Amino acid sequence: MPLVTTKKMFQMAYKNGYAIGAFNVNNMEITQGIVDAVAEEKTPLILQISKGARQYAKMSYLKAIIDVAVRENPDIPIAIHLDHGDSVELCKQCVDDGFTSVMIDASHLPFEQNVEMTRQVVEYAHKHGVVVEAELGQLGGIEEHVKGVDDVSKHLTDPEQAVKFVKLTGCDSLAVAVGTSHGAYKFKAEPRLAYEVIEQIRKLLPGFPLVLHGASSVLKEFKDLINKYGGKMPDAMGVPEEAIAKAVKMGICKVNIDTDLRMALTAKIRQVFAEKPSEFDPRKYLGPGREAIKELVRHKLHVLGCAGKAAECL
């Protein structure tokens, strides 16, 4: 089947209490690991392309890799999503290039400017059958070009403002700031997500899809491997998976995962180089990295509750 939008995915996710995993892709091996896991678990999928990925691999290469994955997995609903689009022009270009979902991120701007930019993207995207994700409130941390804030508690999404924003823009989903943070060094102590914010927005916008950014868990397995084989990430800390699972049950329909993928790939590459220092064949270290990504994604699909849900999202 061809690429799909996230509309049906989010409807079923909200109705049945699970979330769709949205995984960032930067090269062939990462994409293959993600797609192989999803195909085995029979799961709907969102593949995301960020600004950093566009600069590294070029949009045309990544789109072609995804197109192959779509052709080879006709029973899996796959959406291609622009992650953190930073201009109206970029979002329009991605719509024209065949993306089925785009995100316009003007959350760092004053409310009125955020509304206006989002409204322009929605107007163009909807004319072409493409859905739009927007963001309100600001996350902490730094990931690629996305600069967050130091004190996330002061920049949480305001529920009443969220209602106004959705009505004024017509966006299809909303990324909310509820205490998560970008990157691997998210927190100095275990975080507490603002579940009350999610609950209030859900009550004010019943059935509306909410998105969780900055939700990688920085799994101990990969942090330990990285540090064991020469890395220096002792203070890396993410969002506990039980916290994510709870947020999903409260109405989060999409969970972004990027940092965990990078850590899985890096951990295995470091392990190969340490155990086999004479190795120079990329297939011999990227292959184990790809397998690590596959097993990580399989695990995440069960955390999010979307394993086995492909058929109902077609």
Q: List, by residue number, the catalytic residues.
A: 83
Q: Shortest CA distance to 104 belongs to which of 118, 94, 116?
A: 118
Tokens of 301: 């699909």
Instruction: Determine the Cα–Cα distance for residues 124 and 120; give it in Å rounded to an integer.
Output: 6
Q: Is the separation of the CB atoms in 50 and 24 below 8 Å?
A: yes
Which residues of 25-125 form beta strands (DSSP E)? 45-49, 78-85, 101-104
State the amino acid at position 241 in one-letter form.
Answer: E
**How far is 49 from 26, CA to CA, in rounded Å?**
7
Measured between alpha carbons, how far is 197 from 179 in angstroms, rounded to an integer? Answer: 10
314, two tokens: 């077609």
In three-state form (DSSP H/G/I as H, E/B as E, the rest C), the secondary structure along 16-67 is HCCCEEEEECCCHHHHHHHHHHHHHHCCCEEEEECHHHHHHHCHHHHHHHHH
* Residue keyed to tokens 């209030």: 200
Q: Cα(196)–Cα(187) distance, rounded to whole angstroms? A: 20
For residues 172 and 98, give the distance between their C-alpha atoms in angstroms, rounded to a whole number: 18
Provide the residue type at 17 as one letter.
G
Q: How far apart are CA 106 and CA 117, in angstroms?
A: 7
DSSP label at residue 156: P
**3-class SS of residue 81:** strand
